[in-house]
Amino acid sequence: MLQRLCVILLSVAVCFSMPASAQTKKASPKSVSDSVSTSREKQIAAAADAMRDRLVAQRRDFHMHPELSNREQRTSRVVAERLKAIGFTDVRTGVGKYGVVAVLKGGKPGPVVAVRADMDALPITEVNDVPYKSQNPGVKHACGHDVHTTVELGVAEVLFAMREHIPGSVKFIFQPAEEGPPEGEEGGARLMVKEGALENPRPQAIFGLHVNPLVEVGKLTYTPGPMMASSDTFSLAIHGKQAHGAHPELAVDAIVVAAQAIEALQTIRSRRFAGTDAFVLTVGTIAGGTRNNIITGEVMMEGTVRTLNEDVRKRVPGIMNEVLKGVTEANGASYDLKFRNPYSVTFNQPKLVEETLPTMRRVVGDENLLPAPPEMGSEDFSEFAQVVPGFYYRLGVGNKAKGITAGVHTPDFDADEDSLVIGVKAMSNVLLDYLERHATQTTTSK
């Protein structure tokens, strides 16, 4: 059931005034003065707390109506309608298929900052017996993108109410197909960038967040530098020569060559790169042969390559080709290696992380802001962060006491809904503080 949210624009008294001394400072980026940030933070906290029930209702609406990658027709429509209901006039739809881009122009001069949420769900059947259970059989928001979209809509509402006092603009990006477009289709962040999501206006930084059910609600985690791996999917065909199973002298056994190829590919990690270079090569599928007494001439494999360093990533295909050429030639076979679905390393610009951490610390408290090691999973926020400096952080949504512990991409994944208000508070403060810090820098350089 579509739960349309009534339009309640926040009548929060907006009163963040900057001290005269701060307005004339030229430090770049300058630190946000304590009094300004405290006053603004209180307004944001009041606004976010007041919308708690509506955030929960919005998240449940998305959760009940999950849509697969590049099929986010309804989600995209709800997002655009909601933005217009809040009061946004600059709302672009159809950017990268079902992507939505909206710009909030503040009342004061300043830079442009962007925030991105992803909207798609996964082909997973929900097993949780909850009132907001997925109504779309076989499809579930099992990666928390319903939370991300809801948080970004909440941030849009909070900041819209404060717009007269915002120094600069905020670009809201709602992205389809983060989990990867269906075979043969374009989509995701890459397509949105291609279709101009980061132009007119171009942001000078971009932020995003992702749920983490392994981190308790109330906490945020961050990783400076490489945070998530690049991902390149490959398909590998080994071509040999078919013959009777009793006559290897007439055959080139593609299964034996494939076995050697897999072994040799695994030595790339151990013998061609430094121990400190994070790198995973996985052959995930293998298929070949038809029956016991036929030596097969064809084997097909698929796999993935993950790295945390774009230089390492660039070297891998060349080395794979060298290895495969050697192995196949030595056996009188040949091969075809093809890559698809490229995702870059998700890189958090260390300077941007460093200048943002005080804001996050202020919002959740020092004890609730935790550093986290990089992960070998991947995320296409990276495609935006390849164009402009980015910072992607994690929102804790787990709650051991309530039994909310299942990982993302599982049938019993869920998120503690207290995370919605925390996400809105964190991201609203992060964006506003960014604009505040960089406002003088931008206005004085024009």
**Residues marked as catalytic:** 343, 417
Query: At closest approach, how far in Å is the CB of 70 from Zn ion?
Result: 15
Which of residues 47 and 143 has its CB atom nearest to Zn ion in the complex?
143
* Per-residue binder mask for Zn ion (CB under 5 A), 25-44, x = binder: --------------------
Tell me, by CB under 5 A, how many residues bind Zn ion: 1
Which of residues 143 and 432 has its CB atom nearest to Zn ion in the complex?
143
**DSSP state at residue 399:** B
Query: At closest approach, how far in Å is the CB of 191 from Zn ion?
Result: 17
Which of residues 143 and 301 has its CB atom nearest to Zn ion in the complex?
143
Residues 151/211, Cβ–Cβ less than 8 Å: no
Q: Could you give the angle at which helices 34-50 and 52-64 cross, rounded to 10 degrees?
A: 60
Contacting range for Zn ion; rule: CB under 5 A; set: 99-107, 138-146, 322-330, 420-428: 138-146
Vertex 379 angle, CA 140 and 409, to 5° = 30
Residues 41/49, Cβ–Cβ less than 8 Å: no
Query: At closest approach, how far in Å is the CB of 374 from Zn ion?
Result: 16
Which of residues 72 and 355 has its CB atom nearest to Zn ion in the complex?
72
Query: At closest approach, how far in Å is the CB of 8 from Zn ion?
Result: 29
Contacting range for Zn ion; rule: CB under 5 A; set: 36-44, 81-89, 143-151, 253-261: 143-151
Residues 226/346, Cβ–Cβ less than 8 Å: yes
* Per-residue binder mask for Zn ion (CB under 5 A), 98-137, x = binder: ----------------------------------------
Query: At closest approach, how far in Å is the CB of 411 from Zn ion?
Result: 14
Query: At closest approach, how far in Å is the CB of 15 from Zn ion?
Result: 37
93-96 CB contacts, 8 Å cutoff, 24+ apart: 95/192, 95/195, 95/196, 95/197, 96/175, 96/176, 96/177, 96/187, 96/188, 96/189, 96/191, 96/192, 96/193, 96/194, 96/195, 96/197
Q: Which two tokens stand for residue 354?
A: 């460093």
Residue sitting closest to Zn ion (CB): 143
* Per-residue binder mask for Zn ion (CB under 5 A), 182-221, x = binder: ----------------------------------------
Interface residue with Zn ion among 10, 114, 143, 352 (CB under 5 A) is 143
Query: At closest approach, how far in Å is the CB of 292 from Zn ion?
Result: 40
Which of residues 155 and 312 has its CB atom nearest to Zn ion in the complex?
155
H helix runs in 162-308, sequence order = 188-194, 254-267
Phi, psi of 51 (to 5 degrees): -100, 10
Mapped onto helix, strand or coil, the DSSP state of residue 254 is: helix
Least Cα distance to 412 among 145, 139, 126, 215 occurs for 126
Report the DSSP pairing between strands 298-307 and 108-118: unpaired
Rounded to whole angstroms, the Cα distance separating 385 from 344 reads: 9
Contacting range for Zn ion; rule: CB under 5 A; set: 91-99, 141-149, 214-222, 385-393: 141-149
439 part of the interface to Zn ion, by CB under 5 A: no
Q: Which two tokens stand for residue 386?
A: 């390849």
Write out the E strands in 130-257.
167-175, 205-216, 220-222, 225-228, 230-239, 243-244
Q: Is 302 exposed, middle or buried (0-12, 13-18, 19+ CB in 10 A)?
A: middle
Q: Which residues bind Zn ion (CB under 5 A)?
A: 143
